[in-house]
Structure 1
Amino acid sequence: MASATVTSKGQVTIPVDVRNRLGLSTGDRVEFILNEETGHYEVVPAIHSVTALKGIIRKPAKPVSIEDMNTAIADQGASAR
């Protein structure tokens, strides 16, 4: 089993064999997910495809023109001042 030490700054170096199995390289992010059944955290790569976002936002009831979008942005900006 691979192990690591937590530094005084809360940092951990992920062992090379774990990085290789997870497909991680420099600059990649990881997520810590709590497994409710076991109470343990799981470390998983935070690598999501843009296509995974499809369907998060539903289509508008009616098409919106660029002019309408620009007007809404300008109105929101004016009310924020």
Structure 2
Amino acid sequence: MATTVTQNGQITLPKAVRDHLGLTPGSQVDFRQTADGSVVLLRADHASQIDRFEKLRGHAGAGPNTDTVIAATRGEP
């Protein structure tokens, strides 16, 4: 989905995006830049929930590799 930036730097969010995020007139949104440089649009009232889990991302530690998981699933020693 594409949209045009006006001379004042404003955009109209496509209806599909508004519907997906549950945005209504007066809703606040939050823009976040990810590590790869992408920008993510979130409902502002949901941002605090996502932040809570963001700090835990990638900290689960090393686990079994795929072959070990498949072997265990099949009941192999």
Name the TM-score, length of structure 2 as normaliser.
0.57
Q: Which amino acid aligns with 1:13?
A: T
Number of residue pairs aligned between Structure 1 and Structure 2: 47
Measure, in 1, the Cα distance between the counterparts of 2:9 and 2:38.
Answer: 18
Measure, in 1, the Cα distance between the counterparts of 2:28 and 2:5.
Answer: 18
User: What's 1:42 paired with?
Assistant: 40
Q: Which amino acid aligns with 1:40?
A: S
* Structure 2 unaligned spans of 5+: 49-77
Deviations 1:9-35 (A, max 9, x none): 000000001100011010101111010
Measure, in 1, the Cα distance between the counterparts of 2:2 and 2:24.
Answer: 18
Deviations 1:13-69 (A, max 9, x none): 000011000110101011110101x21110001015xxx6xxxxxxxxxxxxxxxxx
Q: CA RMSD in A?
A: 1.3
* Structure 1 unaligned spans of 5+: 53-81
Measure, in 1, the Cα distance between the counterparts of 2:39 and 2:20.
Answer: 17
Which structure would you say has the larger Rg? 1
User: What's 1:12 paired with?
Assistant: 11
Kindly, what percent of the aligned residue pairs are identical?
38
